[in-house]
Structure 1
Amino acid sequence: MVFSAGTNGSPAFKDDANMQTRIRPLLLVALVLLTWALPVGATEPLPLPDYRTESWFLPAGPGVTSGPVAGLFNPGAFGMTARAGTDLWYRRTAGTDLDQYGFALGRTLNFAVMGHEFAVDGDVARVWDFQLGLAHGNRRHSAGLGFRWATGATGRSPRQNSLILGSIERNRWMSWGSSAAFSLQSGAAQYLFDLGLRPFGRPWLTLNGDWTLVDGQRVFQDGVWGAGLEVRPWQGIALGMRARERASGDVDVAAVAGVTLGATGFWALPGFDAQGNDLGTAWLVRSQPTRAGMDPRALPVPIDRPRRTYRTLNLEHQYLTYQKYRYFDQRHLPWLDLLPRLEAMRDDPYLDVVAINLAGFSGRPSLLWEFRDQLRQIHEAGKEIVIHADRLNAGTLYVASVADRLSLDPQGQIAIPGVALARSYLKGTLEKMGLGFQAHHYLKYKSATETLSHDRMSDADREQRGRIVDVAYETWRGGITAGRRLTPASYDELVDGQTWLTAPEALAAGLADTLARWDGLLQWLQRDRHAGLASASALSNDSYPDEQWGRPPRIPVVFAVGACAMDDGINGRATSAYLRSLVHDDGVKAVVLRVDSPGGEVLPSDLVAAAVSDLRRAGKPVIISQGDVAASGGYWMSMNGTEILTTPLTITGSIGVISGWLWDDGFAAKLGVTSDEVHRGDHADLFTTVSIPLLGRIPRRPMSSGELDRMRDLILGMYDGFLAKVAAGRGLDITAVDAVAQGRVWMGQDAIAHGLCDRVGGLADAIALARSRAGIASWQQVELPEYPPRPLIKTPDLPNIPSLFGMTELIAGNLVTTESAQPIAATPLPDERPLGLPLIQAEFLQSVVAAPGQALVVMDPDLLPQAWLDTE
């Protein structure tokens, strides 16, 4: 997969290709046209660096060359690069021993120096030109400006302080650059336009030309032309030529030969006049070149290299999740940050060993499955994997078991107690307190309210919980036994007989290969395996703007994580608006929606699902990638996707609707609290409450039989609507959907068997499928902008102080309230909850609070094993 990450801090609806960036080059062109109209006369000699005679170190025009070296004649070229670089050049004029040399560096803030020597009355004089500038842009368009000044023999070779402006526009087939340099001390000016064409839309062949004018010259009748071409027969090799007209009408030419090795590029440009006389050779060296280079390890040179090479991946105390704070967050590791590193290792033909430190590592269960799957692909690509860990549980041991050699800390341990699901029932507690509860429970498996209405597990709930336990246990056991070459029976014996294994016990049981620490594992690699550390540049998966002109097609990755709520959790209002904004964005070719939600309110779920349908009607595939849980409202958001990918550990389905009502059944009277009310409307008093000191407000009465009948009609009507939407989205018969619905949760493979999902796969598979569905060629780079934008700064965690009895308020029939689920829209990051509740349980309670007495599409968070609840 070839991709580049998007800008995480971009605004919600507009990325770098916003309107201001679009019009900036147009404003620059307008400024240039305006200066042409000024009544000035030609200034000779030109008191500015002259592109016509002083740019023979450029392989092509500045707009085509891009990068720091081109920024001296078009400061917009600085903004075309992915990062700051440094370019150096040197040219000696044949037969004169006169030199030209310089360097340029930077990106947004940039600086360039060019020195050249010239002969005056038999003496050699030197002039130094300096340029300090700013640039901004991306691979599609950029603009910049710079201030120039000079030192040295400026009296012999006139130089004036000047201002230069430039812009570059690119698409896949064409590059257009324009710049204008103006003296700040006279009317002297120089205008440069250069054009690049790629007939095949690929870097194999590039044609380029430029047109230079000075003040006082007419646009079409005067000026000096330049032209050239470049071919790239192999990656890292460039051959071509340049030609430029002299003021006399003669034409000078230069051959162009370039080699890019790793992160360094080398160019030689020997020049000749029209009679074939040598004009001198220019040499150019570029760091951070704009094109992909050859791997230096592929060169047949007699270098003493290690027989084997390895790369390290230190994930100590990292938590694998979706996003992180951009600053001061060392704990969280976004999957989209780790994924390209793993793919680069997998695809590196010169890498032999991958060494990974998993000490203190943990993560979301679905991402641990995806991580192991990527490690499996690395192993199948012929790489050896060695892993170090200190404390492992079933989930992290599942990841580590893919290793050829697993090192465990001598003081470490492995905990494999098995998988259990338990829940507490509060029916008796409510009765003793004097609180009544009515469960609006009309679907067999929809068990979210049973904790308040039952005193033991129902048969239907026991059935679905048993399946979750079995699948989680067997998935982990299958991976661990396959990787560690154990039998299922021997693993069961360890679970049932030992549960917690010390490091020596784990070694004896075959769960580890050696006892050592991270540095000891690296020493073993170097001493016993004779492996040397591979060069970092060989694993670079950077974006090279010259390999693909213009901005690459975009596949936004949208995270819908948390409870289905309007303004927190998945932030249905903002997330659906963002998805709708992509409908008319021509640069967006497909969308990946990562759903990790137990459900909640109907409205935000339906807003997101409707936006998914809008994208599909616009011809843009939407690939759904399900995470730890995509149930009830989470499945509602999934059902309209082009394809739904799930994992074996994903809990999905739960197609159903539920509600409940909590009221004062004597609790207030026990405390001596009385209340009274007046109302108009037969049911207005249903929502009146009695206020209990320190606890809050509780509805005064239960629902009447008529109100319960109305609630039943509402819930079953919504359920029928849910079934119809699933049937339409999945192309199924409503009867078939009802047979696997009734609120039943399914594990990923089961959901595929019942037609609720399409295939097993992770986020990487979803991105690859989105590329394929959008018709994006495998050689093309793609951008993966994330939504929501990553938050800026992680602040210190503050302790939570629970309220009396561990409850904050009793509002409109709901036992507990919680704080806002997320600090910003849909941020899938940890947020401490009152009472120390896990994220998903707190968001479930919040969903109930947000919709008192209303129907909800939410699954019971108690259905999740502990590993699913312990997400950060």
Structure 2
Amino acid sequence: MGGLAFGARSFLHDGPDGEVLAWDEYTIGLGGSPRPGYGWGVSYSWSRADEGLASRHERLAMGSIRRSRLFSLGIAWLKDTRVGESMAQADLGIRPFGPRLTLFADATFDRDLRWDHLGTRAWRTGYGIEAHPIRGLAVGAKALNTGEVGVRLSLGAARGSHPGAAVNLDRGGGHGATTYWLETGSPEPDLGLVKSPPRYKEIDLRGPIAYRRYRLFDSRRTLLGTLREIDALAADPGAGGVVLNLSGLAADGAMLWELREQLAGLRASGKKVIVYLDRAGMGQYAFASVADQIWMDPVGELDLRGLVFGRTYLRGALDKLGLGVDEWRFFTYKSAFESLSRESMSAADREQGGALIDDIYEHLAGSVCAARGISREAWDRLVNEQGVLLPREALEAGLVDSLGTFEQARKAARRAAPRATADASSAPLATLFGDPVWEPMAWGDRPQIAVLYALGVCEMEEGIKGRSLAKKIRAAGRDRSVKAIVLRADSPGGDPLPSDLVAREMKEAAKRKPVIVSQGRVAGSGGYWISMYGDSIVASPVTVTGSIGVIGGWIWNQGLGEKLGIAYDHVQRGDHADVGSGMVLPLLGAQIPERALTPRERERMEELIRALYADFVDKVAEGRGLTAEQVDGIGQGRIWSGLRGREIGLVDEIGGLWHSLAIARDAAGIPAGRGIALTEGPSLGLFHFPLPELKLFGVRLGAPRGGGETAAATPPAAAAALELSPAEFEHLRRIALARGLPLLLMEPFEIRDAGQRW
């Protein structure tokens, strides 16, 4: 319920005749925090008491507090509405060495006492100390100006319970009162004396892994949430490890790599990783190979036939339909229009695609061989001679350790032996959120790191939603409580304008605080444009980055209207006003330009494309500290793997989102051991309401999920239908909407692994 709370307490007293008298109090309160480090609250309390005790009261209280890491200052006012009495109190606390030692003082004034008692009864002051000499032990003492003294001791027992006792002495040194309590839900640590058997958390990775979720009716697992879940296990002394179920997992190659890095970090912290799989391709198996023990379903399969890079070419179909195509390609590797203008790969596209798939394959093979102790020759034989392995074959080849169900894997987790070989990890675990023992007790708001997502095509109102994302970056840059920004870029590019809106705000924010870019599956063309001003660019080995180039093209009616019996006519004012105008196809709603461009019009488009490319190159050179000649040498529209991108200066470090957060933390100067808080945005909204889908010619048309969060892959169409991949269909849609204007768009590549699209 946010800042709304309810509390109750009860006191038992010995009556004059030996009877037990009860006094109960109930409180309801509301509080809030208008800005970091500040808080306010208001409460109403009422009581009931047995006859013979103090009369009942009804009290209204309000107060505020200002807290930082070093000090805490609070003021409060209370009024009893039944009798009209009121009081005010101020408290000051100082922690010169962190949360383990607190020095405090307070003062209370009761305005209804006589003024001639000032300094004795109207004012009451006190001072004291509280210390945590060891984990789970708290001791404290307080002295009042009235001569009274109190001492307290609290112990951290198991399961978050904290029993304690306090003894008060009167001004003469005699016993005043003794209080005992049992506190639950306290952030204070326990003594750690009770050793329970290590716990093994179960993580079900079924279904797609998204970046964000809708607030309602969305149960998808998120990448950052899963990374945090694994990190928490590394910091938990009672955790023995994790058991993962990979059945039905749907994640791209970059996400799989990042999760693998996180699990490698978990293993490095001394925890065990157990993985169960039933069906897996090469990418998912490389992910699973991080485990100490791999279980495979007795009726499962491993598909290790390799990786394939390809796309659908539509030139022949467009010719038959009666559509003319003109590709405006002025840069060697910028092949985004090839699927419409050609019937096969160009030599340049084959070169860059082959290099990309080689890099990814080599990385996957190297990871598996190192983790499983398999020679490269043996691995290549499995891939090229067997391809698909049944469970018994996988066991004999040393690819899995046991055959059985997930339930069997779960029960055997404690008996699993740690794998002898270790994996290097770029993911530092149990450090981002501070010391797990003392940080929860620290005062003040934690320094924030803003995690912002640029997902999908570069457009104004969909995909990255350039206008709203730029506003988010601007707000985070100006917010003093945000110490650094991490932008997750996962975009194939698109429109130059939203790309530059985001890039401008990134550049401005970098003047105020560290700005780190974490590249996901793809960050090319416009996706690289929004990345280029980051203080550091971090990518996975399998990220597709670069594609610094500009593309354009033209499709027009070259007989389609005649075949369909559709005609178009118009009037115009302006020599080129009719460029892009033409018939609208029924049902599809697509407009087909009526004519090809004139030589002068085409010449003008070339001028625009080359000018935009020169601007792109100059900005990348500025952002990356390179010369324009160097950028052009690695540009020309060429795509690169994250590994190659680091070698040529497009990427600074190999890592994932978690590593990017660690870089941002260090760059912001946040001290070691101090925890951070993460804020994410832009949000997806309340819920997603899918619109009905229409399928024509094997292409499924429907509303995409907002902000680049795409729905799961559609099921295969009938064998006779042409099924375009989501990337290919989106690519065609972007070209159609561009109406001949230049685009910062990558080619719609698809890397397939056991039928799964990366």
Same fold, judged at TM 0.5 (above)? yes
| Residues in 2 aligned to 1:546 and 1:345: alpha-carbon distance in whole angstroms | 16
Name the structure 1 match of 2:449. 555
Residue 260 of structure 1 corresponds to 156
Out of 658, 669, 677, which is 2:562 matched to?
A: 669
Q: Which amino acid aligns with 2:503?
A: A
State the secondary structure of the residue aligned to 1:737: helix
> How far apart, CA to CA, are the structure 2 residues paired with 1:353 and 1:476?
24
Quote the residue 1:518 is aligned against.
406
Q: Distance in 1 between matches of 2:161 and 2:206?
A: 35
Aligned to 1:592: 486
Q: Distance in 2 between matches of 1:625 and 1:443?
A: 27
Alignment partner, residue 211 of structure 1: 107
Q: 1:373 & 1:418 partners in 2: Cα distance?
A: 22
- Name the CA distance, whole Å, in 2 between partners of 1:244 and 1:443: 81
User: How far has the Cα of 1:541 moved from its partner?
Assistant: 8.9
1:556 is paired with a residue of what secondary structure? strand
Q: Give distance in 1, aligned partners of 2:756 and 2:744.
A: 19
Query: Which residue of 2 is the match for residue 131 of structure 1?
Result: 27
Match of 1:654 in 2: 547
Residues 707-722 of structure 1 mapped to structure 2, 5 A cutoff: 707-722=601-616
For residue 735 of structure 1, the aligned residue among 629, 641, 655 is 629
Shift of 1:375: 1.7
CA contact (8 A) 1:182 1:188 kept: yes
State the match for 1:859 in structure 2.
Answer: 746
Partner of 2:8: 112
> How far does residue 646 in structure 1 lie from its aligned partner after superposition?
0.8
The answer to whether 1:147 aligns with 2:50 is no
1:635 partner SS: helix
Q: Which amino acid aligns with 1:848?
A: I
For residue 723 of structure 1, report the CA deviation from its aligned partner.
0.3
Change (3 A) 1:668 1:607: same
- The runs of 5 or more residues in structure 1 that have no matched partner are 1-77, 80-106, 531-538, 809-817
Q: What's the offset of the Cα at 1:706?
A: 0.1
- Residue 278 in 1 paired to residue 175 in 2? yes
Equivalent of residue 203 in structure 2, options 314, 331, 345: 314
| In 2, Cα distance between equivalents of 1:854 and 1:599 | 14
Aligned equivalents of 1:704, 1:807: Cα separation in 2 = 33
CA offsets 1:742-765 (integer angstroms, 9 cap, x no match): 000000111111111111111111
CA distance in 1, matches of 2:70, 2:416: 52
CA distance in 2, matches of 1:867, 1:243: 73
Contact 2:233 2:241 in 1 (8 A): no
State the match for 1:484 in structure 2: 372
- Shift in alpha-carbon separation, 1:164–1:542, aligned structure 2, 3 A: farther
Shift of the 464–505 alpha-carbon distance from structure 1 to 2, 3 Å rule, reads: same
Is 1:768 the counterpart of 2:662 in the alignment? Answer: yes
Say which SS state the counterpart of residue 392 (structure 2) adopts: helix
Change over 3 Å in CA distance of 1:447–1:271 after alignment to 2: same
Equivalent of 1:436 in 298, 301, 324:
324
SS at structure 2 position matched to 1:209: strand
One-letter amino acid of the structure 1 residue matched with residue 106 of structure 2: D
The aligned counterpart of 1:701 is 595
| Contact 2:153/2:166 (8 A) holds in 1 | yes
Shift, 1:209, TM fit: 1.9
Pick which of 762-771 and 184-193 moved more.
Answer: 184-193
Output the CA distance in 2 between the equivalents of 1:864 and 1:604: 27
Structure 1 residue 837, shift from structure 2 partner = 5.5
402, 408, 415: which one aligns with 2:303: 415
Amino acid at match of 1:649: V
Mapped to 2, the partners of 1:736 and 1:348 lie a distance apart of: 48
User: Are 2:331 and 1:446 aligned?
Assistant: no
Read off the aligned partner of 1:223 and give its amino acid letter.
W
| Partner secondary structure for residue 308 of structure 2 | coil
Question: Which digits, 9 at most, give the CA deviation of each residue in 1:546-596, with x for residues without a partner?
Answer: 632111110011111111111110111011111011222111111111111
| 1:385 alignment partner in structure 2 | 273
Shift of 1:354: 3.6
CA contact (8 A) 1:800 1:833 kept: no
How far apart in 1 are the matches of 2:157 and 2:48? 35
Work out the CA distance in 1 between the residues paired with 2:107 and 2:439: 24
Measured in 2, the distance between the counterparts of 1:268 and 1:182 equals 29
Instruction: Tell me, in whole angstroms, the C-alpha distance in 2 between the residues paired with 1:521 and 1:433.
Output: 56
Q: Secondary structure at the match of 2:255?
A: helix
Inter-CA distance 838–673: structure 2 relative to 1 (3 Å threshold): closer
User: What is the Cα deviation at residue 721 of structure 1?
Assistant: 0.4
Change (3 A) 1:361 1:780: same
1:152 deviates by 2.7
Q: Structure 2 vs 1, CA of residues 452 and 233 (structure 1 numbering), >3 Å: closer, same or farther?
A: same
Residue aligned with 2:658, SS: helix
2:137 & 2:278 partners in 1: Cα distance?
Answer: 47
Please say if residues 127 and 152 of structure 1, whose CA atoms lie closer than 8 Å, have aligned partners that are also in contact: yes
Distance in 2 (CA, whole Å) between partners of 1:365 and 1:867 is: 13
- Deviation string for 1:694-727 (max 9, x for gaps)? 4543111111100000000100010000000000
1:622 alignment partner, one of 515, 523, 540: 515
- Other-structure match for 2:429: none
Match of 1:801 in 2: 694
TM-score by length of 1: 0.78
After superposition, the CA RMSD in angstroms is 3.0
Q: Quick one: distance in 1 between partners of 2:372 and 2:754?
A: 22
Q: Is the 8 A contact 1:357 1:518 kept in 2?
A: yes
Aligned in 2, Cα 1:108/1:362: closer, same or farther, shift over 3 Å? Answer: same
Choose 844-853 or 732-741, whichever is displaced more: 844-853
Per-residue displacement from partner, 1:511-551 (whole Å, max 9, x unpaired)? 11111112212333457879xxxxxxxx9997977632111
**1:66-85 deviation line (CA, Å, top 9, x unaligned):** xxxxxxxxxxxx98xxxxxx
- Corresponding position of 2:426: none
**1:109 shift after superposition:** 2.7
Matches within 5 A, 1:128-277: 128-137=24-33, 140-153=37-50, 156-200=53-97, 202-216=98-112, 222-245=122-145, 250-261=146-157, 263-277=160-174
In structure 2, do the counterparts of structure 1 residues 572 and 821 end up closer, same or farther at CA, with 3 Å as the change threshold? Answer: farther
User: Can you give the 5+ residue segments of structure 2 that lack an aligned partner in the other structure?
Assistant: 419-432, 718-722
**What is the letter of the counterpart of residue 750 of structure 1?**
R
The one of 277, 287, 290 aligned to 1:402:
290
TM-score, structure 2 as length reference: 0.90
1:324-473 correspondence to structure 2 within 5 Å = 324-330=213-219, 332-348=220-236, 351-473=239-361
With over 3 angstroms needed to count, the CA separation of the structure-2 counterparts of 1:594 and 1:431, relative to structure 1, is same
d(CA) in 1 for partners of 2:96, 2:730: 55
Cα distance, 1:348 vs structure 2: 4.7
Give the Cα–Cα distance (whole angstroms) in 2 for the partners of residues 467 and 546 of structure 1.
48
Match of 2:720 in 1: none
Counterpart in the other structure of 1:830:
711
Match of 1:474 among 362, 375, 384: 362
Evaluate the alpha carbon distance shift between residue 261 and residue 729 of structure 1 in structure 2; reply closer, same or farther with a 3 A threshold.
farther
Partner deviation per Cα, 1:242-270 (whole Å, 9 max, x = no partner): 1234xxxx321111323334623233222
CA contact (8 A) 1:658 1:857 kept: yes
Counterpart code for 2:93: G
| C-alpha distance 791-676 of structure 1, shift in aligned 2 (>3 A) | closer
Task: State the alpha-carbon separation in 1 of the partners of residues 179 and 237 from structure 2.
Answer: 35
Contact 1:840/1:869 (<8 A) preserved: no
Give the whole-Å Cα distance in 2 for the aligned partners of 1:527 and 1:379: 16
8 Å contact from structure 1 (residues 161, 184) kept in 2 = yes
Displacement of 1:350 after TM fit? 6.0
Q: 1:525 to 1:833 in 2, by over 3 A?
A: closer
Cα-to-partner distance string for 1:149-180 (whole Å, 9 max, x where unaligned): 22233674122323333333212222222333
